Amino acid sequence: MTGPALPDLDCRQNVEQFVDQFYQRVLADEQLAPVFLDVAAIDLDEHLPHIKNYWCKLLLGQQGYRRHTMNIHRALHARRPLTQADFERWLSLFRATLDEHYSGPYAEKARRIATAIAANMEQNLPEGTV
């Protein structure tokens, strides 16, 4: 007997919930928490709405996000080089959050997009430091 079906990331409410769940993992992670909290010094009240808008744009086509993510991460990378291990850990936590809480075509789309984002970031940050 199987349990209830997991929700998909097919509406803003679920995307926002996913982002909250994912960031709980990231900010509790020994490897990534210092990058977000100490180096980037993110203000969660400011940062999370941007990330929620970003994923709603990518998954649902909503137009609330207008920032340039690569420039933001280049600035972070200049302060503390992001490593291949950082990208692998980020992707691992992303996938684990999906696997635990979501299922369906939008969740699979999120998985593909996150994989592409991690690869793109890793490829396009300054040479020799990733």
Q: Which residues are annotated as a binding site for heme?
A: 50, 73
Residues in binding site: 50, 73
And the tokens for 104? 């369906």
Give the C-alpha separation, 103 to 23, whole Å. 19
Residue type, 18: F
Q: In this structure, are residues 86 and 31 in contact, taking their beta carbons and an 8 Å threshold?
A: yes
Q: In this structure, are residues 110 and 98 in contact, taking their beta carbons and an 8 Å threshold?
A: yes
| Burial class (CB within 10 angstroms; exposed 0-12, middle 13-18, buried 19+) of 129 | exposed
Q: How many residues does the chain have?
A: 130
Which DSSP category does 68 fall into?
A: -
CB neighbours (10 Å) of residue 37? 13
